[in-house]
Structure 1
Amino acid sequence: MAVACAVTATAVLLPLTARDDGGHSAPVRQSVARAVPAKADTCKDPEASLRPSAADGPTVARIKQRGKLIAGVDQNSFRWGYRNPATSTLENPATSNLEGFDIDLVRAIAEDILGDPNAVIYRAIPTNQRIEALQKDKVDIVVRTMTINCKRIEQVAFSTAYFQAGQQVLAPKASKITGYDSSLRGKKICTAKGSTAYDALKAKSFGALFDGDRYTVPNQLDCLVRLQLGLADAVVTDNALAAGQAAQDPAVELKGRPFTTEYYGVATKLGNDDLVRRVNKVLDGYRASGAWMRAYQKWLATDLPRISAPPAPKYRDN
């Protein structure tokens, strides 16, 4: 994995507390698969979002006035949002570019709103700070493998779903752990704070040890490190992320089958309806033009094969 990130004239990665350029805290047609609500949710259609629109409301206008889209992303999830040392520049040899499926989507949103895919300020955000970053206006959007569910739609607003995933167990190939079942009893399970994996374990742990600072980490990649060091027996996370971790370490593998159905969405602050509608307009074009499938083939098909289409968008009546 890379250890730094690229900084260019128009696309930069800043820490969560950084300031924007104005000195202020900142804040080919493809078929589509039918979406299924997340099994763990009890509300009706949490993935249903506002209908798309190209209109410039107050939130979009502020982004245009600033000249940059501020995006909360991951910087260490292989294939999704990660720093690649191979793309470092001569001008900045210690830095590297952010790459991945989520980053491509951020660039598409920036291009639609600002006419420039590089007009982005990237903010690296830990899993458990995604919602807070939006609520405190530190970012405009979060594109960070963020699951849409009933609890979260009360805290932030989501676009339509752009990827389907599911929780699964990652463990050493030699492990006797067979999946999300009684084989976890007494095992040290690592997961990220603020993740749906943590919530799943809290609801049903099969006697696994998972709570507390010994087992929960700010970023999911830290779990792979703990697994490699023998500090954890297994990891529970989205299979989309786990597949990327398995690609980095041939000694580990996914165990069993996914035990939830979850959908990722682009998140923004509650009330920023114009931005939600604009992102949904971008996603409609992203699916229809084949851009989604091209990004999937580039970043994810090797580790997550046999996906034929993105999830279909679901819209609310209002």
Structure 2
Amino acid sequence: MITRGDLYLPVEGLSPSAEVQSGHRIGFARRHWVLFVVLTTLSLTVGLTLHYQSEPRYTARTDVVVLAVSDLATESSRPADVSIDSAVQVLLSDRVLGETARALEYPGRSSGLLNDMTISPIVNSRILRIYVSSLQPEVAYNAVNTLAEDFLRARQVSLLAADNTRSESIQAQIESIDLSLEQLDNRVFLTDDSAADSTAELTDERAALQTELAAIAVNVPEPGYISHMDPMPTDSGRTGLPIIAASSVALGFALAALIGVWRDRRTTPRRRLNQPAQKFANGTATTGSSRPR
């Protein structure tokens, strides 16, 4: 027996297999449309009920501009810190997130602050937008501002440490060049012509290293600055309504699809068991009617 749900019209431009699959999907949706409507409505109702039963929260925001640091002493001006991901990792590290949570005695400590914090980098910019939501406005306000300040402080410490490491490396190279120049002055291994050429190359290299060392000493790295700081929030609200609604609808659809497949698999063996009996009955009737009298 063919039901209306199993009928479908061929779609122009689709292969026969694609048409069959499309027909199966349409038939599946028509057979179980009541199940889809009921479970989606039920899931959405439960999700919205839980959302509006939750306590409203206060949200504070701070925008931090993360400056890119480049080595301007060299001709290529190679970038030393241009990835915004590295800044996010510093913000989520224990020396920033953990220290802030411990200093403020934040509820739930580091894990609680991590759950209440949202980082939203602005596309095509060096701006990190930080949000903290809490049940108390002063907790959210203090947490987001302390996070921004600790982040800039930790990043400056990292940049200074990188400059110190680079300075030590440059100083070691200069000392090695000085040793080579001293050997060339004594003309221990080289002839006069080769010694003059090597001395000129080493002198130029030493001058470039001295310039870079002076630039590192003069230019203090800037980690960034706070471009926007919200006042203490006065209005509370419930966040995440679009996400909860979409998740509830998706969950209802998924449950309806699973139950529909389960129902079809239960009914398929019964249909297969009934088909031989029907064929046998039809065959007997056909044979009996075709006998000559």
User: What's the TM-score once normalised by structure 2's chain length?
Assistant: 0.23
User: What's the TM-score once normalised by structure 1's chain length?
Assistant: 0.22
Which is higher, the Rg of structure 1 or of structure 2? 2
